[in-house]
A and B are shown apart, each in its own frame.
Chain A
């Protein structure tokens, strides 16, 4: 887990440092001389950076705790499991498709495709169930939000 910890610290420090340099561009409020527009952001980001440095040093120099359960490779393999990545990819495509296709069509296709692709063994019956679930979801959303609550759909 040490490698993961170090990667986390690295990303964290980089992001906070970028933010910190950006804050320097803020201008001061002239009307209120007692407060500064930079004070709070710099306080927060500075403290955050200190935390990050402490944790990085701790991971580097202190012996890591005993629960060395899973190794780095295993964690990576778990992170990028095909099913997880498939779901994520489908969801990203779905969000991108809402605008061009319209919400109801995109949702129907997404729901059907996800169920069909995630089901371990695709059979005609599972496809019928997928279609049924998609239709029911759409009906529920439409009925609840549009008819009862008069909300807007994307």
Chain B
């Protein structure tokens, strides 16, 4: 094992390879942090370029882009309230309010350090217990997946402000209904296309995400033009930025919980960082002693939890990819293609046949995170400066970038029109004061729920009993029900207690 590790290290610690990781991280960070240019796009465009390279060079470069692009999403989420990936949608909830209060440096610092810690911890899990974790992933059948979807769905109640939970669920059903549009994968027939061929592909989550967040935000931003007083005033100080590290370390419990959730959700193929950040956020809120302060941008853990979780999911998503050859999310799916093109089959035999490549992945992952942390210290001041550029210049440029980004995902104008359509929907919801995050969640969860439910019923010959009798799915469902029912009851009791002494 050690000689393989040394071999892997020897591959990575070549000046040119290190340089490649560095470029990958920097490029990924820039692309990931610009709203509209998403991490999926960065990787989709990078993977074909690596086909012509040596594998020892291509893999570290891709790892760099992967780490950089996914963690770069936090910048757009915090400074502009436009997440670049579903993975940082949870970060918007508290990161933007915190930045709007003038604490952008604090919000960015919290997010950067917690995501680095989450990433490194998940990397350790990847190195130390990958095969064991892979077994956990394999024990998840359709029943467990469906239960997990139900559980994530119940998290919506924790993410909405008081009295608006039903509205949030309605938004989620809008997402679920939109997810029905297109070709039904199981039965091979089209639904709700109203006769248009273009609709048969269904709606992709990224144009929807960018549209729902970017267009309402940019439209609302036009109000700020010419009013310099309302601009976010940011005085960036490196010391203040570094100082948040201590704040992050003071919340070890939240950090640990979010990282754990991130890894566990990340190893499940097909789930990935898009869900883990939302689950971690809602769990942090449930565990918190001041849940009413979530969403206001006061508490550090409300920014840290989603970021720690989504980066932890990255290491997690690599586990099924390397050990089973099953991609954890859209990005790892494309990396899988890169492995295959280099004549390496990720799968059960990768550790035996290509042990050195496995170590290249491991070491490159850590090096990428180290570079990522380093680059952030120079990159954040730049982004903070960029935010004080007058709005009239920022708005058209961002709209153009979103257009390009949506087009580049699938080379189709239809996706750009979707971006506009979802933008209008988002604007309508914004006016009606309905949160947009549940719409995205519904759009992501819908196809998964449908596929897993029909599979579970088909395997179980129409019986729904396995949902309850299988231990893991039964437990998850029980927790989901409790998490819906308990908080109102406990809350009422707490309120009564608070009233009694007075």
Query: Which A residues form the contact surface with B (CB < 8 A)?
Result: 1, 4-5, 7-9, 11-12, 15-16, 19, 22-23, 26-27, 29, 32, 34-35, 37, 39-41, 44-45, 47-48, 51-52, 54-55, 58, 65, 75, 78-79, 81, 83-84, 86-88, 91-92, 94-95, 98-99, 107, 110-111, 114-115, 118-120, 129, 133, 137, 141, 144-145, 149-154
Contact = CB atoms under 8 A, between A and B. Distances in A.
B46 interface: yes
B45 interface: yes
Given A8-B432, A39-B454, A150 B184 contact: no
Tell me the interface secondary structure of chain B in the complex.
helix
B397 A27 contact: no
A154 B191 contact: no
Interface residues of B, number: 63
B416 A45 contact: no
Contacts of A75: 431
Interface of B: 31, 45-46, 48-49, 163, 166-167, 169-170, 173-174, 176-177, 180, 184, 186-187, 189, 191-192, 194, 218-220, 222-223, 225-226, 391-393, 395-397, 399-401, 403-404, 407-408, 411, 413, 416-417, 420, 427-428, 431-434, 446, 449-450, 453-454, 457-458, 460-462
Nearest to B193: A22
Contact of B434 (A8, A26, A54, A153): A8
B413 A99 contact: yes
Given A98-B413, A154-B407, A34 B223 contact: no
Given A19-B177, A26-B191, A98-B413, A154 B403 contact: yes
Nearest to A31: B187
Given A22-B191, A37-B189, A114-B396, A7 B167 contact: no
B383 to A, nearest CB: 16
Given A95-B416, A95-B417, A4 B432 contact: yes
Tell me the interface secondary structure of chain A in the complex.
helix
Contacts of B434: 8
Contacts of A129: 393
A81 B169 CA distance: 29
B454 A153 contact: no
Contacts of A15: 174, 177
A50 to B, nearest CB: 9
Given A45-B177, A75-B431, A84-B219, A118 B392 contact: yes
